[in-house]
Structures are given as structure tokens and as C-alpha cells.
Amino acid sequence: VLDWATDVGVRTLRQRTVGLNAGVREARDDVVAGGAQAVVIVPIDLPFITTAAIDDLIGALFEDPDPTVVLAPDRHGTGTNALALRPPNVIDVSFGVDSRATHRAAAETAGSAYREVDGPLSVDLDTPEDLVLVETIRAEGSHVG
């Protein structure tokens, strides 16, 4: 995948740390060193992701001139399915159990604006039940969000 990404002009980074949060921090530090003004973190397990959903996430990031945290919560209301940060280090990332509350508290402590977006980013694939839900939604022709 790294070779393919490089061939099509994508800048790549091979994770040197262990774990999701450490990897996100490593990537964030790399883009900050390159001059990034914001970062959007989107895990790979979002089966109903759309360009419109990402546009909503990014749009919410720039609704306020202040430092901003935008979060897409999971359908259970406890996790973080996508996170946008401006500037990229406005808060530390903390994906995992109860990450929604942790990210919100970090935003409040940092004095940054905090927003949430809903829609198709609320469905992720963490458990076998999640996969059944996704298959059911697809079979019924339903839409999320």
C-alpha cells in the first residue's frame, strides 16, 4: 500500500510507534512539522463514510476562528469515530473507551470550541454486531444520517 500511495503522489509515513493513539500522535507531529494548520483523523472502519460527511466535519472545523475540536461520535454515544483538530495539537488524542467524553473534556480544558457532527460517520465496525447492523442497513436499502 505504501508503494502504491507513493506512486500516485501521496506522502506516506510508516508508523514507528505502537498503538492507535501513539500512531496518530506520530502522524500529527509529522504534519505539524510540515506546516499543517489542521488535521482530520478518520479511522478506516466507517462503512458509510461519504465525501459529504467529511465536508461536514471539515466545515464545522472552520465555523469559528478560535482553536476548534470537531468530533463524530459513535452510534452508542461513547466513542469517537472521527476527529478534526485546528490547530492539530489543540488537544491530545485519546481514542478508546469513553473517548468522546475524554476528547470533549480535553477541548474544554484547552478552552477551544467544541462541535459534534452526526450522520453516516456514527456507524463503525468494532464488533460482530456492528457488522450485522451494517449488513441489515444495506439489505433494507436504508441510509444512515
Could you give the strand order of the β-sheet that contains 39-41, starting from the edge strand earlier in sequence? 39-41, 80-86, 68-73, 113-116
Q: Rounded distance, CA 69 to CA 94, Å?
A: 13
* pTM > 0.85: yes or no: yes
Cα–chain-centroid distance for residue 35? 20
Contact 115, 104 (CB under 8 A): no
Give the 3-state secondary structure of residue 68: strand
Cα–chain-centroid distance for residue 77? 15
User: Has residue 142 got a pLDDT over 80?
Assistant: no
User: Has residue 132 got a pLDDT over 70?
Assistant: yes
Q: Give me the pLDDT at residue 145, please.
A: 65
What is the per-residue pLDDT across 40-79, written as a single tens digit (0 to 9) for each? Answer: 999 999 999 999 999 999 999 999 999 999 999 999 999 9
Least confident piece of the model among 83-87, 97-101, 129-133:
129-133
Cα–chain-centroid distance for residue 115? 13
Burial class (CB in 10 A: 0-12, 13-18, 19+), 111: exposed
Residue 104 CB partners (closer than 8 Å, separation 6+): 69, 71, 114
